[in-house]
A and B are shown apart, each in its own frame.
Chain A
Amino acid sequence: DAGVIQSPRHEVTEMGQEVTLRCKPISGHNSLFWYRQTMMRGLELLIYFNNNVPIDDSGMPEDRFSAKMPNASFSTLKIQPSEPRDSAVYFCASSSSGQGTDTQYFGPGTRLTVL
Chain B
Amino acid sequence: DAGVTQSPTHLIKTRGQQVTLRCSPKSGHDTVSWYQQALGQGPQFIFQYYEEEERQRGNFPDRFSGHQFPNYSSELNVNALLLGDSALYLCASSFSDSFEAFFGQGTRLTVV
Asked if A pairs with B, the answer is no
Q: Which residues of A contact B (CB under 8 A)?
A: none
Residues on B facing A (Cβ under 8 Å): none
